[in-house]
Amino acid sequence: MTYDADTLAQLRKDADEILDRYPVKRSALLPLLHLVQSVDGYVSPDGIGFCAEAVSLTSAEVSAVATFYTQYKRRPNGEYQVGVCTTALCATMGGDEIWRQLSDECGVGHDETTADGKISLERIECNAACDYAPVMMVNWEFFDNMTPDRALRVVDDILEGRDVKPTRGSNKVSTFKETERVLAGFEDGKVDEDQGVGDPTLVGLKIAREQGWEEQR
């Protein structure tokens, strides 16, 4: 491993905290892989070695797990992971066209990163926000009800170094590495940030209230 002493010390401290959450060591592997992505921006050879040591597996066994899951990246990832949902419903509602225009704008295809390292573009599968179709995710925050223009503005903001704000989620999208640290189970203090609940989430409740059907708990 080529981590410097400080990085390694922090990694070990974090890894201990992760390992403490589980009765069996190996269960810590998925969060540990998120953790190494928060340091290296991908699952690096060093990261695999670190995880292997932490959970007493071989590096081959860790690689076998890492390659199964799409969120673990095998090459240095962009600072922002931009995913356009092109599963059937979003694709039909306009996701395919959004994808086409974003891919043109960024000059990269699926699972590719812009030369400046800002954006990794991905065609993603259903992200459980179908009532907000077409959906785009940036570092796994929701960008709902997208149009090509709105999506292009988000991408241009990222390319020009401006902050971007999801439609449901935190006040500002964190970087890929910061997001991966959250996914490793470390809170980042952004939990109470809120862009409001979208109309589709509340539509049924609103009708029930208007009609006086509401069930009181």
Partner 1 sequence: MTDLTPVLSATWDAQESWKLSTYEDHGGYRALKKALGMDKADIIQAVKDSGLRGRGGAGFPTGMKWGFLPPDDGGPRYLVVNADESEPGTCKDIPTMLSAPQVLVEGVAITSFAIGCNHAFIYVRGEVTHVYRRLLQAVREAYAAGHLGKNIHGSGFDLDVTVHAGAGAYICGEETALLDSLEGRRGQPRLKPPFPAVAGLYARPTVVNNVESVASVPAIIDRGVDWFTSMGTERSKGMGLFSLSGHVERPGQYEAPLGITLRELIDMAGGIRAGHQLKFWTPGGSSTPIFTDEHLDTPLDYESVGAAGSMLGTRALQIFDETTCVVRVVTRWTEFYKHESCGKCTPCREGTFWLTQILKRVEGGQGTEADIQQLLDTCESILGRAFCALGDGATSCISSSIQYFREEFEQHIAEGACPFDHSAAALFDYDAPAKATEEAHA
Site residues for partner 1, 44-63, by CB under 8 A, read 55
CA distance 10 to 127: 32
Candidate residues 10, 45, 75, 88; the one interacting with partner 1 per rule CB under 8 A: 88
* Shortest Cβ 118–partner 1 spacing (Å): 19
Among positions 150-169, residues that touch partner 1 (CB under 8 A) are 166, 168-169
Contact region for partner 1 (CB under 8 A) — 7-15, 111-119, 152-160, 209-217? 209-217
The single residue among 11, 15, 33, 35 that binds partner 1, judged by CB under 8 A, is: 33
Examine residue 134 and say whether the peptide bond preceding it is cis (omega within 30 degrees of 0). Answer: yes
Each residue 99-118 as x (binds partner 1 by CB under 8 A) or -, in order, gives xx--x---------------
Q: Given the structure tokens 């589709």, which residue do they identify?
A: 200
Q: Contact, 34 vs 69, CB < 8 A?
A: no
Give the three-class secondary structure for 138.
strand
* Interface segment toward partner 1; rule CB under 8 A; list 5-13, 111-119, 153-161, 185-193: 185-193
Q: Which of residues 125-144 bind partner 1 (CB under 8 A)?
A: 125-134, 137, 139-142
Give, as ranges, the residues between 1 and 20 that touch partner 1 (CB under 8 A).
none
Distance CA(212)–CA(29), nearest Å, equals 49
Distance between CA 75 and CA 189 in Å, rounded? 29
List CB contacts of 108: < 8 A, sequence separation 6 or more. 114, 119, 121
The least CB distance from residue 135 to partner 1, in Å, is: 9
CA dihedral over 100, 126, 153, 38, signed as positive or negative:
negative
User: Starting from the edge strand earliest in sequence, which strands make up the sheet with 80-85, in order?
Assistant: 112-113, 119-124, 80-85, 136-138, 141-143
Which of 2, 211 has the CB closer to partner 1? 211
* Residue 115 Cβ vs partner 1, minimum distance, rounded to whole Å: 20
Residue with Cβ nearer partner 1 (11 or 129):
129
Q: Of 1-9, 90-98, 111-119, 156-164, which part binds partner 1 (CB under 8 A)?
A: 90-98
